[in-house]
A and B are shown apart, each in its own frame.
Chain A
Amino acid sequence: MNSLAAPAAVATAVLGVLVVVLLVAVAAVHTSRARRLAAAQENRAELMAVVYDLLDDGDEQAVVDAPADLDEVLLHLLPQLRGADREAIQTALTRRGVVARAVADLDARAAWRRGRAATLLGSTAGRDHLARLTALLADRSVEVRCAAARALGRVGDPAAVHGLLASLTTARPLPAGVVGMAVLDLGTPVLPALRATLVTGSPAARALSADVVGLHGDVIAGPALAELLTDPRQPEDVRRAAATALGRIGDPGSTDPLAEVLVDVALPALRRAAAEALGRIGDPAGAPALLAGLTCPAREVAAACGDALVALGPEGSAVLADAAARGGPLGAAAAATLDAAPRPGLLVGA
């Protein structure tokens, strides 16, 4: 071991130096923090005065001449503003060269620079950089791809929907949730494209399109959704998304296909989605299927059927009360459902 003593002593000394460096750094950062915060607060008060001037009388030159710290203040304010104030801030950021720097950063080597640039362009730029942002959907970093998708959503150009839907199934796919939120941000102008995707898109795109048309309450998509729901060749998640969408749209015309799926299909998650959708629609015609599902061996399906019957209102409660009076396993399940149903009269102060 003696032969190791010398190198070990050197290594220990190096470690000691590293520890001391870290200690000094911690002390320096801690002691300077309060001073820096105070200075930043003072600085911010001055910069806010410049911003207020800009928003009041449009003194753009003062904004252009202001120090670099103003960029952060403007970027912080931007998401909180709408209308003319937002446009004024966007123009100021463009004139200060922030947008141009972000565009240049889209090709940066560091992923965080590309991602931050995409985020910034999404908040500040118009539709000028749509192609660059769409190209970024294939970036090697997943964080950057997600940032590009969100930016496209914020820019709000319906033309971005095709790139976004395609990004679900590329070699570097984007997570469905990120794409879903971006497509939602694009609003109702993309509904025709989403309806077409329900028929022609990839399974991932069909499921996402079903989700989004449902969230928009798009009645026109109802027949295509019903077709997806009842088609046994469709993947389960597509059928589930179609069921949920039909429930959100709330058209009583969807009660029959949903009831059919609830009664005939063996997939518990799909049956649960169908039951929840029937509850949302609130059509008493769905009650027999829901009552039959109350004794389903899959507890989650039975619970969803119970909730849905309660959601039908007085008609559903009457069906439950009738079943409870008849006794047996179905009666017991119906009684438990009625007992567990929300009773507003019990609320304190109600």
Chain B
Amino acid sequence: MRELALDALLTMSWVVLGYTLLLDLVMLALVLAGARRVSASRRWDGSEGHEEIFASPLTPGVSVLVPAHDEEAGILDTLAAVLAQRYPVLEVVLVDDGSTDRTFAKVAERFGLVQVTARPTAALPVDGEVLSVHRATTGDPLTVVRKTSVGRRSDALNAGLNVARHPLVCMVDADSLLEPEALVQVARPFVEDPANVVASGGVIRAANGARVSRGSVLEPRLSPRWVVRFQVVEYLRSFLLGRTGWADANALLIISGAFGLFRRDLVVEVGGLDALSLAEDAELVVTLQEHLRRQGRPHRVVFVPEPVCWTEVPETLSVLGRQRRRWSHGLAQLLWKHRRMIGNPRFGPVGVLALPFFLLFELLGPVVEVLGLASVVLAAFLGALDTSTALVMFGLALGLGTLLSTAAVAVEEFSYHRYTRGREVGVLLLAGLLENVGYRQLHAWFRLRGLVAALVRQTPVWTAMPRTGFTEAEPVAVP
């Protein structure tokens, strides 16, 4: 019996080792592809200047949709940042999704809202009851939709889509701050290639700790919390370089819900956002690609590594756990719903590259990681653990993980240089090392729980993240 258990352990160890190496190598390839694209774009970005896009009469109007549930901490900053966008034709649709705090009151007071009769431009199904529609009297192009909450962001976005009037819709989280040129940069692909581009996304960075004034990030700073610092490295690695790499392979699957731009007519055509999905942003991108691919219509999903959206990331492990469980649950829903696309060459690089990757490495990754850890503990318990070999293998995994994170921080330093203080760059590099021990395993555990929730068909619940608001910069003393 012991022999059998040892054989099983050995096989499992081989599988886990091979899997981990393969995953890290694929990630390294993605990061390198992204780094290559980013550094090439710094040499020559190959695109039209922002001034030309801003001034072009061909630039389409954008409706910015901001779903908000209990966002009183930062809603005025978010709206200030959106309304300050340097964009020629813009409207903002804030959807107050059943807030129980002063979100609506603050907005009503600041913008002098008056109630108007709803005049929909689409008839997407909305489960919550739309209570009223308001318009700003301050001259700002702001519409506010009040509705009851059904606990789903997608429902709020569909309510916003129903009153959006412009050809493009930009979805922005209510805890996010857009840089003034962000919209014009992310809209550029639509201006240049209006027949093909159906969606584009920009870079998301963690705003926690940054100095903010009236919706503008004056100085990016690192939060003193390590859980935030780990996420900063993770965002650089996965959201900046990973997505740039996927977009280069024409296989971009995710445009972050915090900042994404879509063609409104197509979003309406596919029935809006999936009401039951917990990963409604990725779900929308995949649905659009499946829909258009089936109809043989041209389409491109673009990632623009320049425009920046600053967003609040979880500051505690419990909130992070809830967020990552939701992401994992949502990914499982997405892969199940679109299972016919997985490995299917008819759906191009998305079918044969991105979806299999997300199935094997993103969704099932935590299973293998947790099994690997369990096998080590079991082997030690059975006295079959070869300590020196285990240490070497651990060192290899640590080395690969650290190389990935260090490469991401290096690209950030060489290309964007957002963190100007040497100490902060050092902390980021250290976080890239430390995240491999503890954070990565905990992250795998959160994701595993999300996968289990999906497997037992737990009712999807969109839990709001507690907001702390942005760190206001202290006023500069005038001598």
Could you list which residues of chain A lie within 8 angstroms of chain B, going by C-beta atoms?
1-2, 4-5, 8-9, 11-12, 15-16, 18-19, 22-23, 25-26, 29-31, 33, 79, 112, 115-116, 119, 143-144, 146-147, 150, 175-178, 180-181, 184, 211, 215, 237, 269, 299-300, 303, 306-307, 335-337, 339-340, 346-348
A-contacting 9-mer, from B304-312, B400-408, B447-455: B400-408
Q: Which of B14, B44, B48, B139 is close to A116, meaning CB atoms less than 8 Å apart?
A: B44
Whether A176 touches B121, Cβ cut-off 8 Å, given contacts A1-B389, A11-B396, A348-B139, is no
**A25–B410 touching, CB < 8 Å:** yes
**A178–B48 touching, CB < 8 Å:** yes
**A211–B58 touching, CB < 8 Å:** yes
**A19–B406 touching, CB < 8 Å:** yes
Minimum CB–CB distance for B253 against chain A, Å: 22
B199 contacts A by Cβ under 8 Å: no
**B10–A1 touching, CB < 8 Å:** yes
CA distance A5 to B396 in the complex (A): 10
B413 contacts A by Cβ under 8 Å: yes
A-contacting 9-mer, from B89-97, B186-194, B355-363, B456-464: B186-194
Residue of A nearest to B133 (CB): A340
Residue of A nearest to B394 (CB): A12
**A303–B165 touching, CB < 8 Å:** yes
**B137–A15 touching, CB < 8 Å:** no
Q: Which residues of A contact B48 (CB under 8 A)?
A: 146, 150, 178, 181
CA distance A337 to B402 in the complex (A): 59
**A15–B402 touching, CB < 8 Å:** yes
**A115–B44 touching, CB < 8 Å:** yes
Q: Which residues of B contact A30 (CB under 8 A)?
A: 413, 422, 425
CA distance A226 to B27 in the complex (A): 55
**B399–A12 touching, CB < 8 Å:** yes
B40 contacts A by Cβ under 8 Å: yes
**B422–A31 touching, CB < 8 Å:** yes
The contact sample of 6 A-B pairs, CB cut-off 8 A, is A5-B388, A112-B44, A116-B43, A175-B193, A303-B120, A339-B117
**B121–A300 touching, CB < 8 Å:** yes
**B392–A175 touching, CB < 8 Å:** no
- 7 more A-B contacts (CB under 8 A) besides A2-B386, A12-B399, A300-B122? A9-B392, A12-B396, A19-B402, A143-B46, A300-B121, A300-B268, A348-B139
Q: Which residues of A contact B425 (CB under 8 A)?
A: 26, 30
B3 contacts A by Cβ under 8 Å: no
CA distance A281 to B386 in the complex (A): 83
Residue of A nearest to B393 (CB): A8
Encode B27-63 as 1/0 by CB contact (under 8 A) with A: 0000000000000100110111101100011100000
B395 contacts A by Cβ under 8 Å: yes
Q: Which residues of B contact A18 (CB under 8 A)?
A: 403
CA distance A18 to B51 in the complex (A): 41
Residue of B nearest to A177 (CB): B192
CA distance A143 to B398 in the complex (A): 39
Q: Which of A2, A29, A307 is close to B413, meaning CB atoms less than 8 Å apart?
A: A29
Q: Which residues of A contact B52 (CB under 8 A)?
A: 181
B8 contacts A by Cβ under 8 Å: no
Whether A1 touches B417, Cβ cut-off 8 Å, given contacts A176-B193, A299-B122, is no
Residue of B nearest to A168 (CB): B195
B119 contacts A by Cβ under 8 Å: yes
B414 contacts A by Cβ under 8 Å: yes
Q: Which residues of A contact B137 (CB under 8 A)?
A: 346-348
Minimum CB–CB distance for B300 against chain A, Å: 9
Q: Which residues of B contact A269 (CB under 8 A)?
A: 265
**B192–A175 touching, CB < 8 Å:** yes
B13 contacts A by Cβ under 8 Å: yes
**B46–A115 touching, CB < 8 Å:** yes
**A26–B119 touching, CB < 8 Å:** no
Q: Which residues of B contact A33 (CB under 8 A)?
A: 417
CA distance A5 to B48 in the complex (A): 52
Q: Which residues of B contact A146 (CB under 8 A)?
A: 46-48, 192
Q: Which residues of B contact A19 (CB under 8 A)?
A: 399, 402-403, 406
Residue of B nearest to A304 (CB): B121
Q: Which residues of B contact A184 (CB under 8 A)?
A: 56-58
CA distance A237 to B195 in the complex (A): 10
Whether A22 touches B139, Cβ cut-off 8 Å, given contacts A15-B399, A116-B44, A150-B48, is no
Q: Which residues of A contact B371 (CB under 8 A)?
A: none
Residue of B nearest to A143 (CB): B46
Minimum CB–CB distance for B302 against chain A, Å: 11
Q: Which residues of A contact B119 (CB under 8 A)?
A: 303, 306, 336-337, 340
Whether A26 touches B410, Cβ cut-off 8 Å, given contacts A115-B44, A299-B120, A339-B117, is yes
CA distance A116 to B47 in the complex (A): 10
Residue of A nearest to B195 (CB): A176
Q: Which residues of B contact A25 (CB under 8 A)?
A: 410, 414
**A4–B193 touching, CB < 8 Å:** no
Whether A177 touches B191, Cβ cut-off 8 Å, given contacts A2-B389, A347-B137, is yes
Q: Which residues of A contact B192 (CB under 8 A)?
A: 146, 175, 177-178, 181
**B386–A1 touching, CB < 8 Å:** yes
Q: Which residues of A contact B295 (CB under 8 A)?
A: none
Residue of B nearest to A20 (CB): B406
List residues of B (332-385) whose CB comes within 8 Å of A's CBs. Answer: none
CA distance A66 to B6 in the complex (A): 75
**A336–B193 touching, CB < 8 Å:** no
**B13–A1 touching, CB < 8 Å:** yes
**B409–A26 touching, CB < 8 Å:** yes
**B116–A181 touching, CB < 8 Å:** no
B5 contacts A by Cβ under 8 Å: no
CA distance A342 to B422 in the complex (A): 52
CA distance A18 to B28 in the complex (A): 13
**B139–A177 touching, CB < 8 Å:** no
CA distance A143 to B399 in the complex (A): 37
**B118–A181 touching, CB < 8 Å:** no
Lowest 8 CB-CB distances: which A-B pairs, in order?
A: A15-B399, A175-B193, A143-B46, A339-B117, A336-B117, A177-B192, A112-B44, A303-B121
**B406–A339 touching, CB < 8 Å:** no
